[in-house]
A and B are shown apart, each in its own frame.
Chain A
Amino acid sequence: MARHLYNKIEQQQAPAFFVRGPSPFARLAFFSVLSLALMAADTRLQYLVSLRQSLQTLLHPLQLLANAPTQLYLNTSEYFSARNILLSENQQLKKRDLMQSIALQKLNLLAVENAHLHVLLAAQNSLKESSVAAEIMYVGRDPFARKVQINRGQNHKILPGMAVVDAAGVIGQVTRVYPLSSEVTLITDTSLAMPVQIERNGLRAIAFGHGRDSNLDLPYLPTNVDIKRGDRLVTSGIDGVYPAGLAVATVKQIVSGTDKPYARIVCEPAGGVENHRQVLVVSKPQLDSITTPSITEPVKLGLNQATRSDKMQKMTNKSAKPSDAHAH
């Protein structure tokens, strides 16, 4: 097209061979400088956040279209999955439900006791968090970063900085929020650090993603630190981002040389960082003035979905009565 235009303007017919506009080198210089400026604007100055958000929203239908074939495949395979598989799964879930409801009964009791103790200690504030269920749309395409995209965004009240967990533990943190989706940086990404605590002895540390393999590192711990293989790491909650006590990883390997001041501690993430689709986005714990909880009103754990909490309420109500009698 450019050539036609040029031919119209320029009456003197130059051979088409040479009609190429600015030289490739000039173009290279121009666009390279433009790219560098863009990179600076994006990383250092944060000017392009809203632009990226709006473009990503435009892209959303295309993304859904691209995801459609896999979604269709998953749905059909779900539909045709054998009856006995469903039955056994149902049985397992029932068993787990029973176990968890028992655990929950104990937990409610503990929560009430804890609240009571808090009142005694005159601690005015407790931490509450809410959650949104989401599904992973796709794994990030950047080979240098460990990221996933989930199908909940600004419109579902997701904010950057929220923690993302699955059934087994923490998997990451929301880093970018678009109107209809958001980007989650996994805990195995090198840029993500999270404050953790060893469950056994309460030792605090900071876990970093390892990047290349899906492991976590615990740097800056001295070689004589009290840590063993199989120790469980949980979130310490002192950062105000992750709710305290969520499982993060288990210690897999400890290498401590006498010539090094720090031990090299490799941990394996507890959550299915690479193999789950359903995740839960947990909001930052917010300071709420404590309400005197009664045993008939179970403490919302935040991790429960709305559909299940009704069922739980019935169960806990039933269980609450005998314990009430004990207390008096």
Chain B
Amino acid sequence: MPINKLKTLYFWVLLAFMSLLLPWSQAALIVRPDFMLLVLIFWLIRAPNLCNVGTAWMLGLLVDLAAGTVFGQYALTYTVTVFFAVTYQRRLVLFTGVQQLIYVFSLLLISQVMLLIIKTFAGGHFIGWMYFLPSLSGLLVWLVTMGLGLNTGGRGRAN
């Protein structure tokens, strides 16, 4: 069972990575949700034994490579975000659908704020409130996958 799950996890990670490599441009680039982090959060909720802070760090490095940013920026961002996710993972079973949505949204926001802090330290400029759009679009993706009947854990799965 875990082997099978692990394969599925790898498949989803690969898919998220490919989505990252797509030639996004203009508005799509601004709105594009962070698929990698979404997959990470999803698997963290479903199978915390397969996917933990270390996994997040490794995937963050992959994203760093693909995005051409300094090695360690996304790695640190994902590490911190997943730490928060893991801390509240046990409580999540009691969450209802809406609570889970808020939880996921705040995780996405944490990752973006974290990245913003790192980038600002590195001499970057805040690019405006549009910067936070990926969190909203990520939430939308989460909502759609939940609507499509994907089991995202939490109390909502009973119905």
Query: Do the two chains belong together in a single complex?
Result: yes
Do the beta carbons of B57 and A42 come within 8 Å of each other?
no
- Cβ contacts under 8 Å, B72 to chain A: 34-39, 42
Closest Cβ–Cβ distance, residue A297 to chain B (whole Å) = 42
Known: A42-B72, A145-B69. 11 other contacts (CB 8 A): A28-B53, A32-B80, A35-B72, A37-B72, A41-B71, A63-B21, A66-B23, A67-B23, A138-B23, A142-B69, A144-B119
Q: Which single member of A4, A27, A70, A190 contacts B23 (CB below 8 Å)? A: A70
Convert B13-46 into 0s and 1s, putting 1 for each residue whose CB lies closer than 8 angstroms to a CB of A.
0000110111111100110000000000000000
How many angstroms from the CA of A25 to the CA of B2 in the assembled complex? Answer: 25
Which residues of B, 86-143, contact A by the 8 Å Cβ criterion?
86-87, 118-119, 122-125, 127-128, 131
- Within the assembled complex, what's the spacing in Å between the Cα atoms of A39 and B70? 6
Interface of A is mostly: helix
A148 to chain B, nearest CB (A): 9
User: Across the interface, do A28 and B80 meet the contact criterion of CB distance under 8 Å?
Assistant: yes
* Closest chain A CB from B117 CB (angstroms): 12
Q: Tell me how far the C-beta of B30 lies from the nearest C-beta in chain A, rounded to whole angstroms.
A: 7
B23 with A43: CB separation less than 8 A: no
Docked CA distance A6–B21 (Å): 37
The yes or no answer to A137 lying at the interface (CB within 8 A) is yes
| Min C-beta distance of B11 to chain A, whole Å | 14
Contacts of B52 in A (CB 8 A): 21, 24, 27
* A36→B76 contact, CB < 8 A: yes
In the complex, what distance in Å separates the CA atom of A21 from the CA atom of B86? 13
Contact-size category for A: 35 or more
Interface SS of B by simple majority: helix
* B18 engages A190 (CB within 8 Å): no
| Complex contacts, B57 vs chain A, CB 8 Å | 31, 34-35
Q: List 23 A-B contacts (CB under 8 A).
A: A19-B49, A24-B87, A27-B54, A27-B79, A28-B53, A31-B76, A32-B76, A32-B79, A35-B76, A38-B61, A38-B72, A39-B72, A39-B73, A52-B65, A62-B18, A66-B23, A138-B23, A140-B67, A141-B29, A142-B67, A143-B29, A145-B68, A211-B125
Closest residue of chain B to A47 (Cβ to Cβ) is: B71
Q: Give the residue of B25, B69, B71, B87 whose beta carbon is less than 8 angstroms from that of A139.
A: B25
Within 8 A of B (CB), among A197-236: 211-212
Closest 7 CB pairs of A and B: A38-B72, A35-B76, A66-B21, A27-B53, A138-B23, A39-B72, A144-B124
List B contacts of A140 (CB < 8 A).
Answer: 67-68
